[in-house]
Structure 1
Amino acid sequence: MGYVFVRYARPDKRFAEQLSDDLEQAGVDVWRGIEEIAPGQNWGEAIRAAIAQADAVVYISSRGSMNSKLMLSDLEIAQENGVTVFPVVRDFPGFRAMPKQLYGIDWLDVRKGYAGVLESLLERLPADTRQNEPVVRKSAQSRGYVFISYAEEDTAFVQRLRQFLMEHDYSYWDYQESNRDYHTQLFLELEDVIREAVATLSVLSPDWKRSPWTPKELIFSEQVQTPVFLLHVREMEPTLLTAGVPYIDFVNDEPGGFRKLEAELRRKGLL
Structure 2
Amino acid sequence: MSEATDSNQLLRYYRRYIGDPDRTVDVYAGFGLFFVGLVAGAVSVVVFLYSATLPAASSSSYAIREVAGVASAVGFPALLLGIVVLLPVDKRMLYVAAAGSVIDLVAVGLFVWAYPQDWNVTVPPDYSAQVIALYSVGIALVVAATGAALVAHRVERAVDETGEAEATEADAEETETVSDEQVRSDIDSALDDAELSWGGVSRTETRRLNLDTSAIDDIDSENLPDSGSRSRSPADSRCRCRRWRSCRGSAVASPCG
- Scaled by the length of structure 1, the TM-score of the pair is 0.20
Q: Which structure: greater helix fraction?
A: 2
> Larger radius of gyration, structure 1 or 2?
2
- Structure with the bigger RCO (C-alpha within 8 Å, sep 6+) is 1
Q: Which structure: greater strand fraction?
A: 1
